[in-house]
Chain A
């Protein structure tokens, strides 16, 4: 499909005679609200090499990347490029110093063309007019330089696939003559053939002497691409060594092993799994396929997987946000067709979404209005009963607020999340779907939410929880379902290790097992 990279246009990075690092960061430390998320991290980026950055969620990878990109200013530490100390107060400064970052959420304007996006803010001019011809030619040249064909510089970005948009971001980075490009989970949303294209682009970039920082959860890619690997854990650097000295299982072991398991409340010994409350067979929509899954009343099932593996989309399928187009759903043993969230609520389901600010709460309305929102909308006759029960419910959730009339935007993240839960518990759901229920909340509030999950299970409610925090999945789940690329990759019993979950999620070590479903991967790992 693509010719191998030709290093003919290598610019020859100036001021870097000894092959030493182009970028040298030392002792980078960053904390948010007294919470240290990155401590004393060092990293060297060498021209023409790919540096892999791995670690679990919350290990500090994104923070380090954002510090290098000028999005965050570090509390301590230094960054040097070509031996010159740098201070990035703004992303533009980092860009001018030659550091470009391709984030997961693209910084592109969907209604503008590829060329217009790449040259935004520095459109070439001829006299008073923008030289659109040159803009188009330069864009075409940039894309050809990346080995990409068939992208029209005049195509609006909204018509492009995710992979193509990523290419535009990379082309934009190169147009700034970036010598350092960091990429945050670049393959999270890509299909396999698109990953191959990304590989070839990275090859071309390194052939030109660009240094690449590659953040990914996918170990196969890390080993395919990287020359050096740095492992972060809980904001600390674990190791930084040549990729040749590591293998997948060692890497997984270095990444995991946080010791906070005592933190999770014990299961109520009286809780026994009851009847199957939710059952999927062969369920699929645009994002997940062939999902078989059963959750019993009184059971907490953890849904693990990498970002983009289809966990959220599975919950949205069940809840009728993105209805399934294939397969069957049974609720309490009876076939159910849920085409809308309203139908799901009526069937006894609840969904606590990932993003409480966007889809969980009406931020500028009161606690009471939010907490009664779902009941009022779907079961209006139960509203007054729910209103009477509300003070009790809120105090059992230990919500801290001045009054029920307070606007939820002024509450802490943890209290906001409790309001979201109150909003759903008021409907007496039999199946509770939780998407990242403890994201962005403090430790005390987390504990409260874990206890609530246990209490729900004890009442016979079926709980299905998506979480990116491995300790949380392992600490809370009676069973763990692991997703990969939109399909169920494994089902593990309680007490599975982080290594097992991570291996199933990344496909690491899948060479040993017979992998019936994913025979399409070009298994050339390690």
Chain B
């Protein structure tokens, strides 16, 4: 044995990006965006942390938040929902129509709207599982059907929200809107469902490997249908929130927001794998918040809307590229050496 004990080779620490898990990374990114946003806002002579500005950022998160939570479930289970904008419009029409300005009809209006959305989600789920149509196509078709129905039956606004229902959309607790709290409540229930119920476990399992799940005795259709139903109901809640803010039901309010692609983008930005099986609602909320902050800062700076889209696009692409580089090699090597042991971002 040699006497000169060499100190153990100083382990090169992996870059920060590699040590954090994806969800933590999302929040680091959110923090960075807030810091940059604060500086830029200050340069425009405003304060990012003014109570009014915080409220407006949070308001931006709530509608997209509802949709993105639902989209997370659907993506985790290995499907996709492109019908959400039309479901949002449908909920606003049904809710507005049933309430029709009457205080007493608020509860029936909410139930009717969410019930109709649940039926749409059920149809989506059954088409995906029963007929074996990929979610992309099944929900695209469903979206077109709803859109056609709305366009041919409702020209312009329809119905209206009574006074006290409108309060839901505008009430603030300090700088925090009530709608954001409701959205975060839904997120909390969603997190609990994913982590602590069989349904949640099976959503992950089926999205991660349908055959493996089937061979383990999981009923593989149930989580897919449930995820679609929940996604549509959450989109319905977004629709009701928009009804409350605008006070009238609108057949086009959903597509104006571009909620289909924005919700998918938020989910992916939140670190959820588009192929399913990995991700979290917590990450999605982070993704939604990043978009909200960016949008807020850009509107404060009065950047033109086309350039805003360019920025959003860049954010999505860069984020996903960062996640992709973190992919872990699947097979251990027999003769590891520095040259080949380095993580390669390929997914065989």
Contacts and interface: CB of A to CB of B under 8 A. Distances in A.
Nearest to A106: B212
Contacts of B205: 109, 112, 116, 120-121
A485 B335 CA distance: 10
Interface in A252-291: 284-289
B216 A191 contact: no
B198 A288 contact: no
A476 to B, nearest CB: 28
Contact of A288 (B202, B216, B335): B335
B217 A122 contact: yes
A322 B212 contact: no
Interface string A103-125: 00001111110001000111101
Interface stretch (B9-17, B31-39, B171-179, B337-345): B337-345
Contacts of A121: 202, 205, 213, 216-218
Contacts of A129: 192, 196-197
B332 interface: yes
Interface string B215-247: 111100000000000000000000000000000
Contacts of A485: 334
Contacts of B340: 285-286, 322, 325
B278 interface: yes
A159 B212 contact: no
A91 B328 contact: no
B335 A130 contact: no
Contacts of B202: 121
Nearest to A290: B335
Contacts of B330: 110, 158
A325 B328 CA distance: 20
A157 B88 CA distance: 38
A452 B209 CA distance: 40
Contacts of A286: 333-337, 340-341
A123 B202 CA distance: 10
Nearest to B336: A286
A100 B235 CA distance: 44
A159 B328 contact: yes
B216 A111 contact: no
B97 to A, nearest CB: 35
A132 B332 contact: no
A15 interface: no
Nearest to B209: A109
A59 B277 CA distance: 38
Contacts of B209: 109
Among A112, A132, A159, A284, the most chain B Cβ lie within 10 Å of the Cβ of A112
B328 A158 contact: yes
Interface string A82-95: 00000000011000
Contacts of B328: 158-159
Interface of B: 192, 195-198, 200-202, 204-205, 208-209, 212-213, 215-218, 273, 277-278, 328, 330-337, 339-341
Interface of A: 91-92, 107-112, 116, 120-123, 125, 128-130, 132, 158-159, 161-162, 189, 191, 284-289, 310, 322, 325-326, 485-486
Given A91-B215, A120-B201, A284-B335, 5 more contacts: A92-B217, A120-B216, A120-B218, A125-B198, A486-B335
